[in-house]
Structure 1
């Protein structure tokens, strides 16, 4: 007997910003039969609920690439947050190479890079990979609630570490292979 169904979100359940109505119907039928439906995503809780709530789907979620497990109400019932001290090793690599990155926390999204730079590079990546338009990420656009559009800038890594925040993940992104190759060697020998 099936007790649980777990689905990835982006590129699986959600394709080009759209969930097939047959999938929605199947999820609701499974839930009506007592089968637990869970989503697994690199997104944060709001990023998942902003997609599922309008469809009337309430479910538990594995978030931040496994950093959190939240119940249907959004309460984190298990977590595996990044040690803040690791930021002292990770962030300088991105900063020195001007690689756009975002820090996902339990209370917002951060970078020491200019928010517009992070948003524009994320939007460009989305346009290449998923066919998004750059204007989708501007205020009022359909992607304007994405983490890349909500970046809060900080100046000092040491000061940022002192904030009362838990680190869900650090996400760097690029569509430029040469840029990726510049930062990869730094992480191959990093302590886990």
Structure 2
């Protein structure tokens, strides 16, 4: 394998949304062995970069599910924005169904309601942070919300209209959340009736809409091709359905132990959970085979 592509949330990151020391060292060891490492995440680049800098890892970043690719120096090298007509059609559906959503743009995330965002994050935090006490959960969720708003340059506005009409602004992804499963199902079904889109979900109640080529599989393969690396020479790791395209295209697609069973049914190779440093485990297995070959 010549390139490793890793998702972040539920994959490279632990339960505190940080890179564990085990994962950090495994990534650095893979790079030292001459293997390229690239992040492929639904998060925006500005958010990812903060986490990588904290861990002391330098690598290219495929962000917003494949809508943007930055090299290790932070230079934008590829972009797959939605058209304004596509965003308008998605916007109208989500407004009609009253699903919370944000426009992820090249100037940051745009939202209509801070309070609604925090309310939904509290709901999801009750599930994801069940290992913490009630007070610790509340403190952690509030800290993560404030951190995300700062790192992703979130703006809270009264209307999306000016952004939908601005042809100079790139809208790269529509990110939607709900606590209502029936609302999610309706929105998912209606959005899938539209054409030219890549539609995925990375967690319960989450809907992510990109341009057709704004998916992780296309972005990883495009980046690999720029290095002369074939799909068979790529190892990819992820835990969500927004990872499926790259897991299927890679020569070695590996699903996390914490991934939903439906994804595990599609991807036969599996590693440990993200809370058990599954990325490090998979990289160590790969490096052991490299050492044998040498």
TM-score band, normalised by shorter chain: 0.7 to 0.9
The TM-score, its normalising length taken from structure 2, stands at 0.58
**Corresponding residue number in structure 2 for 1:86:** 86
Alignment of 1:1-192 (within 5 A): 2-16=1-15, 17-111=17-111, 113-131=112-130, 133-138=137-142, 141-147=143-149, 150-157=154-161, 159-163=162-166, 164-192=168-196
Counterparts of 2:58 and 2:191, CA distance in 1: 37
Structure 2, unpaired ranges of 5+:
197-294
* Secondary structure of 2:10's aligned partner: coil
User: What TM-score do the two structures reach when normalised by structure 1?
Assistant: 0.86
Counterpart Cα distance in 1 of 2:127 and 2:113: 22
| Superposed displacement of residue 61, structure 1 | 1.0
Q: CA deviation at 1:38?
A: 0.5
Tell me, in whole angstroms, the C-alpha distance in 1 between the residues paired with 2:7 and 2:124: 20
Is residue 118–residue 145 contact of structure 2 (8 Å, CA) maintained in 1?
Answer: no
Secondary structure of 1:110 counterpart: strand
| Structure with higher helix content | 2
Contact 1:125–1:174, Cα closer than 8 Å, also in 2: no
Taking a change above 3 Å as real, the CA distance of residues 79 and 156 of structure 1, as seen in their structure-2 partners, is: closer
**Structure 1 residues without counterparts, runs of 5 or longer:** none
CA distance in 2, matches of 1:10, 1:20: 12
Instruction: Quote the Cα distance in structure 1 between the aligned partners of 2:178 and 2:185.
Output: 11
SS of match in other structure, 2:52: helix
> Quick one: higher RCO (CA 8 Å, sep 6+), 1 or 2?
2
